[in-house]
């Protein structure tokens, strides 16, 4: 028997992003005095695997299907999925979702660097770093390139509400950071909400002689 | 005494709310002086108190794009000791947060991430609350009830105010007040006694899709709580790390 892991986790955030509302304002609305007077739809910030407070928020909005959260299990490749080798792994891609084999079925993986989408994923979070617009979903960043919408390394300076799946905690210069997909994230407060900013990786320590 | 005035005029006021949407014959918004008087009496009493402690149950809506509403909530425990000490604990469905203000520093602790942020603040309560909003971009739930607030500026933008009637909250007769503003409408239930204590608040974010509401039931008001100074001092739990605040409205 396959067990479906908690789906729906970043979905509410994705849904809010779909409407172009600021998730930080949303959080402020929930937490702040007098309801915070925020302008935004409230978005739960703590929906993580480790803190599964809300499950099964519908991830289909009307006719739009949102990207499936990382870890979603399916018994067979979805209709229209195309096999693609990216970075030495065999993926099945269906829209913005990249599946890897998992037991008898497939599981949604973090979108791999070099993967290409034909459109901006619905519900992705639009993030501007300098003059460049990125779209974040499922712990990955998408940018328009001649190939299409390509999954690129996390841009330094971007702020996201949620760490990619599998991020690991570490200390850099005595401060807490997280490592995920080759990028370094540093936690900050944005209002009363904990967010994560992509920062420059630390310079390699000079090798001891 | 106020209640007697109310009983005679209450029905007419409600009718006015329904029919006239709070607009007078001249087309100007109507602000009922009785509603304002009760609001100000309540404020004055709480703001003169040297020590205040209350608990509140807070519920709020999350609106999905489909229009479906999800309701989440939390329990707040808030204590204030003037001139400038605050301690607040919020245990919600989605987050647990604590705020400590010792008159010099404010610490915001997030339990899930086990992190805390610190800012320096002015000595007095009002200045500290303002600094939290302006420098760190957050506010403590319902702190507006106990200090002259960033939120109170919004009160100055009241577009209409009505006295709805005497209605019971948790068995206590309360003055039910209803105000409108440019972005939010809010209702307040203030105890019908010499204590003028707020018992319930409802805020309607009327410009947001689905008009989500924020509801707080306030209970256990105490103006002589035992509040040793140590209560207002943050001691980092094991493994907690300090993080910085991004500047409100932009990057660090």
Percentage, residues of chain B above pLDDT 70: 82
- Using the 8-state DSSP alphabet, how is residue B37 labeled? H
Q: How do residues B1-37 score in pLDDT, each as one tens digit?
A: 454 444 444 444 444 444 444 444 455 668 899 998 9
Spell out the SS3 assignment of chain A.
Answer: CCCCCCCCCCHHHHHHHHCCCCHHHHHHHHHCHHHHHCCCCCCCCCCECCECCCCCCCCEECCEECCCCCCCEECCCCCCCEEEEECCEEEEEECCEEEEEECCEEEEECCCCCCEECCCCCCCEEEEECCEEEEEECCEEEEEECCEEEEECCCCCCEECCCCCCCEEEEECCEEEEEECCEEEEEEEECCEEEEEEECCCCCCCCCC
For residue A84, is pLDDT > 50?
yes
CATH of the domain at B196: 2.50.20.10
Bond from prior residue into A3 cis (ω within 30 degrees of 0): no
Contact A31 B141 (CB under 8 A): yes
Strands A148-152 and A159-160: unpaired
Q: What is the predicted pLDDT for the residue at A39?
A: 26
**How far is the C-alpha of A194 from the C-alpha of B137, rounded, in Å?**
12
For residue A53, is pLDDT > 60?
no
Please compute the mean of the pLDDT values over residues B80-107 and round it to a whole number. Answer: 93
Query: Is A32 in contact with B138 (CB distance < 8 Å)?
Result: yes
Task: Give B185's contacts (C-beta < 8 A, 6+ positions apart).
Answer: B178, B179, B203, B204, B206
Residue numbers in A near B211 (CB within 8 A): none
Q: In which band, very low, low, confident or very high, does the pLDDT at A209 lie, cut at 50, 70 and 90? A: low
B246 to chain A, any CB pair closer than 8 A? The answer is yes
For residue A175, is pLDDT > 50?
yes
Q: How do residues B73-91 score in pLDDT, each as one tens digit?
A: 899 999 999 999 999 999 9
Residue B251 located in a structural domain = no
Angle at the Cα of A165 (from A160 to A171), degrees rounded to 5? 75
Q: What is the predicted pLDDT for the residue at A28?
A: 37
Q: What is the predicted pLDDT for the residue at B8?
A: 45
What distance, in Å, lies between the first and last C-alpha atoms of chain B? 54
For residue A48, is pLDDT > 50?
no
- Using the 8-state DSSP alphabet, how is residue B30 labeled? P
Q: What is the predicted pLDDT for the residue at A52?
A: 29
Contact A194 B113 (CB under 8 A): yes
Residue A134 located in a structural domain = yes
For residue A182, is pLDDT > 80?
yes
In the beta sheet, which residues pair with residue A60? Answer: A65
**How far is the C-alpha of B164 from the C-alpha of B174, rounded, in Å?**
10
Residue B196 located in a structural domain = yes
For residue A46, is pLDDT > 80?
no
Residue B247 located in a structural domain = no
Picking from A44, A43, A55, A48, the residue whose alpha carbon sits closest to that of residue A19 is: A43
Residue A4 located in a structural domain = no
User: Of B61, B63, B246, which has the smallest distance from its Cβ to A190's Cβ?
Assistant: B246
Residue B87 located in a structural domain = yes
Residue numbers in A near B61 (CB within 8 A): 42
Burial of B6 (0-12, 13-18, 19+ CB in 10 A): buried
Picking from B205, B80, B142, B129, the residue whose alpha carbon sits closest to that of residue A33 is: B142
Strands A140-145 and A132-137: antiparallel
Q: CA of B212: which chain A residue's CA is closest?
A: A41
Q: Write out the H or E segment, with its range, that includes residue B58.
A: strand B51-63
What's the token pair of residue A11? 């979905």
Contact A62 B66 (CB under 8 A): yes
Q: How do residues A86-111 score in pLDDT, each as one tens digit?
A: 989 999 999 889 999 988 889 989 89
For residue A180, is pLDDT > 80?
yes
**How far is the C-alpha of B25 from the C-alpha of A21, rounded, in Å?**
38
* Mean pLDDT of the residues in chain B: 84
Picking from B247, B47, B17, B30, the residue whose alpha carbon sits closest to that of residue B152 is: B47
Q: In which band, very low, low, confident or very high, does the pLDDT at A47 lie, cut at 50, 70 and 90? A: very low
Burial of A53 (0-12, 13-18, 19+ CB in 10 A): middle
Q: How do residues B190-213 score in pLDDT, each as one tens digit?
A: 999 988 999 999 988 888 888 889
pLDDT greater at residue A40 or residue A115: A115
Q: In which band, very low, low, confident or very high, does the pLDDT at A183 lie, cut at 50, 70 and 90? A: very high
Residue numbers in B near A41 (CB within 8 A): 62-63, 208-209, 212
Q: In which band, very low, low, confident or very high, does the pLDDT at B92 lie, cut at 50, 70 and 90? A: confident
- Using the 8-state DSSP alphabet, how is residue B29 labeled? B
For residue B107, is pLDDT > 70?
yes
Domain region containing A43: 11-199
* Mean pLDDT of the residues in chain A: 72
Residue B248 located in a structural domain = no
> What is the value of ipTM here, to two decimals?
0.81
Residue B192 located in a structural domain = yes
Domain count, chain A: 1
For residue B39, is pLDDT > 50?
yes
**How far is the C-alpha of B196 from the C-alpha of B191, rounded, in Å?**
5
Residue A29 located in a structural domain = yes
Q: What is the predicted pLDDT for the residue at A15?
A: 40
Residue with the two structure tokens 């005679």: B8
Domain count, chain B: 1
Q: What is the predicted pLDDT for the residue at A208?
A: 57
CB interface of B with A, residues 170-199, below 8 Å: 183-184, 186
Task: Give B125's contacts (C-beta < 8 A, 6+ positions apart).
Answer: B80, B82, B83, B84, B86, B146, B147
Residue numbers in B near A13 (CB within 8 A): none
A178 to chain B, any CB pair closer than 8 A? The answer is no
Residue B249 located in a structural domain = no
What's the token pair of residue B27? 């087309």
For residue A11, is pLDDT > 70?
no
């Amino acid at each position: 028997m396959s067990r479906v892991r908690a789906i729906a986790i970043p979905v509410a955030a994705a849904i809010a992003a779909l409407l172009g509302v600021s998730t930080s304002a949303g959080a402020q609305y929930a937490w702040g005095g007098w309801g915070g007077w925020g302008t935004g739809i409230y978005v739960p910030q703590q929906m993580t695997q480790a803190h599964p407070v809300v499950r099964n928020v519908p991830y289909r909005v009307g006719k739009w299907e949102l990207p499936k959260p990382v870890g979603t299990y399916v018994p067979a490749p979805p209709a229209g999925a195309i096999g693609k080798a990216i970075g030495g792994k065999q993926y099945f891609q269906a829209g913005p979702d990249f599946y890897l084999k998992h037991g008898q079925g497939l599981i949604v993986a973090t979108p791999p660097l070099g993967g290409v989408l034909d459109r901006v994923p619905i519900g992705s979070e639009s993030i501007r770093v300098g003059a460049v617009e990125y779209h974040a979903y499922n712990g990955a960043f998408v940018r328009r390139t001649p190939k299409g919408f390509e999954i690129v390394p996390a841009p330094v300076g971007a702020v996201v509400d949620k760490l990619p799946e599998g991020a690991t905690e570490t200390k850099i210069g005595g401060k807490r950071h997280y490592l995920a997909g080759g990028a370094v994230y540093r936690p900050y407060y944005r209002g009363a909400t904990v967010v994560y900013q992509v920062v420059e990786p630390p310079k390699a320590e000079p090798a001891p002689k | 005494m106020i209640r007697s005035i109310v009983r005679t005029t209450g029905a007419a006021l409600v009718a006015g709310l329904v029919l006239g949407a709070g607009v007078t014959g001249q087309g100007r918004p109507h602000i009922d002086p009785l509603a304002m008087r009760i609001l100000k009496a309540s404020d004055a009493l709480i703001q003169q108190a040297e020590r205040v402690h209350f608990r509140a149950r807070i519920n709020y809506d999350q609106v999905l794009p489909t229009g479906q509403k999800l309701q989440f909530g939390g329990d707040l425990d808030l204590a204030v000791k003037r001139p400038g000490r605050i301690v607040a604990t919020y245990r919600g469905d989605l987050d647990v947060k604590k705020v400590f203000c010792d008159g010099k520093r404010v610490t915001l602790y997030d339990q899930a991430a086990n992190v805390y942020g610190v800012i320096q603040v002015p000595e007095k309560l009002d200045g500290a609350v303002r600094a939290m909003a302006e420098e760190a971009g957050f506010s403590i739930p319902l702190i507006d009830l106990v200090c002259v607030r960033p939120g109170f500026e919004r009160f100055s933008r009241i577009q209409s105010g009505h006295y709805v009637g005497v209605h019971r909250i948790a068995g206590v007769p309360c003055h039910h007040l209803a105000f409108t503003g440019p972005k939010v409408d809010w209702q307040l239930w203030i105890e019908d006694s010499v204590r003028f204590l707020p018992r319930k608040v409802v805020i309607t974010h009327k410009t947001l899709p689905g008009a989500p509401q924020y509801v707080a039931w306030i209970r256990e008001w105490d103006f002589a709580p035992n509040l040793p100074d140590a209560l207002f001092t943050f001691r980092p739990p094991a493994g907690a790390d300090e993080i910085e605040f991004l500047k409100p409205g932009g990057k660090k």
